[in-house]
Amino acid sequence: MQHTLEAVIFDWAGTTVDFGSFAPTQIFVDAFQTAYGFALSLDEARGPMGLGKWQHIEALGRDPAIAARWQAQFGRPMGQADVRHIYETFIPLQVERVGAHSALIPGALDVVQSLRQQGFKIGSTTGYPRQVMERLMALASAQDYTPDCTVCADDLPAGARPGPWMALHCVQQLRIGAVSHCVKVDDTLPGMAEGLNAGMWTVGVALSGSPAGWTLAQYQAADEASRANMRNRVSAELLAAGAHYVIDTVADLPVVLQDIEQRLAQGQRP
């Protein structure tokens, strides 16, 4: 088959590794507790998922419920000094523990290997800073997953998601001819915005990512009714954010790529 698509740009946690995206969310809970003795729930920690980690902490501080508890506990709003302290607490914890959540999501490696055989280039972007990604990339490489490029949240002066800059930096590194020939795959709303703002096709991941919050064991044990309920809830959020397609996990990507190829052949663009 003659391909018009040139590249797929994957997110990391919740999309290609770390089923349920537990590494970053749990560490946010731990960082708030360690830095300030402040209680944050796992669901609250998931709220801004997809942003760069500094921006994620800022967003948590602006959440009305969290901000009210912070004000009650400390008698002041969260400030930039607080954000910095939590971030500086977060990073070493994340580097230390990212290995516990580094397993590839089932089907991810098969999909990537198949894409490479078809001539696709593989890019990746992440809300993780480079310091964390150096560790995670080594662990992924040991599982035979090594994207052609990886752009981290702190790599670019323009910033990270929801802006287009990380995805567009992948376009430059991969030497892609047109952004409409790229597909962005992500489990978060900022990830959808990243792809859309870059002019790419966007594919949301419903069941392996942060919005669902399932472990792999929970996903495997869930009956079809439970999966359908979760799929419907998360898909509605991703589609409302502009996703062109929503799949359960990255293993379901090939059929979507075939459909995008047909749409491109008909002259459609993202």
pLDDT in tens, 126-165: 999 999 999 999 999 999 999 999 999 999 998 889 999 9
In single-letter form, the type of residue at position 158 comes to A
Against a cut of 0.85, is the pTM above it? yes
**Which one from 18, 43, 53, 63 is the annotated catalytic residue?**
53
**Cα 263 vs. chain centroid, distance in angstroms?**
26
What is the residue-averaged pLDDT of the chain? 96
What region, left, alpha or beta, does residue 37 occupy, with left being phi > 0 and alpha being psi -120 to 50 degrees?
left
Number of Cβ within 10 Å of residue 165's Cβ equals: 19
Instruction: Tell me which architecture the domain covering 7-21+102-265 has in CATH.
Output: 3-Layer(aba) Sandwich (3.40)
What tokens were used for 142?
């040991």
The per-residue DSSP string of 226-257 comes to HHHHHHHHHHHHHHHTT-SEEESSGGGHHHHH
11 catalytic per annotation? yes
Tell me: pLDDT of 2 over 80. no
**Which one from 11, 82, 186, 252 is the annotated catalytic residue?**
11
At 97-131, the pLDDT tens digits run 899 999 999 999 999 999 999 999 999 999 999 99
In single-letter form, the type of residue at position 81 comes to A
Instruction: Tell me which architecture the domain covering 23-100 has in CATH.
Output: Orthogonal Bundle (1.10)
53 catalytic per annotation? yes
Give me the percent of the chain exceeding a pLDDT of 70: 99
At 207-228, the pLDDT tens digits run 999 999 999 999 999 999 999 9
Torsion over CA: 193, 198, 204, 208 (sign): negative
d(CA 97, CA 192): 27
Tell me: pLDDT of 238 over 70. yes
Domain residue limits, the chain: 7-21+102-265, 23-100
The Cα-based distances of 52 to 71, 102, 153 in angstroms read 24, 19, 5
